[in-house]
Structure 1
Amino acid sequence: AAKFGAKCIGEIMVHASGEQLKELSGFVSSGALKPVIDSVYSFDQLLPALEKMRTKSVCGKIVLSMAH
């Protein structure tokens, strides 16, 4: 992430309403908000993905791909 000028600053947990999620989606669509992707795992790699998340050695989102 630092390579692209981003920093990991901690975790934020929210319980967003449908309206807030719609607004957030608009930010992503417009490019105003760019989520940082740490890694992408296929569904059959679920256990390694969970282990990575458990160790907290993550900077960004862990994506679990459901594609076949």
Structure 2
Amino acid sequence: MMDIRRMLAEKAERRALLAEEIEHIVAQLREHGLPGGIPSRFYTDPEEASVASALARRVIEAVARRLEEQEQA
């Protein structure tokens, strides 16, 4: 039982570290990725903004899965 708790704690710690790294990357992209640094200025169409947001979320989820796979290997 302790092994499972330890494994869950380690997984939670890895997820927290990954979340911090993603926040850092997103902040860098926000700051340096677009002229003016404010993405909302570039998405005036709500549907286009929604699609862009969904795509970004899919990229982040794919990266998270890949990192978890590498950790398990």
The TM-score with structure 2 as length reference comes to 0.25
**Structure richer in strand, relative to its length:** 1
Larger helix proportion of the pair:
2
The structure whose RCO (Cα within 8 Å, separation 6+) is larger is 1
TM-score (norm 1): 0.26
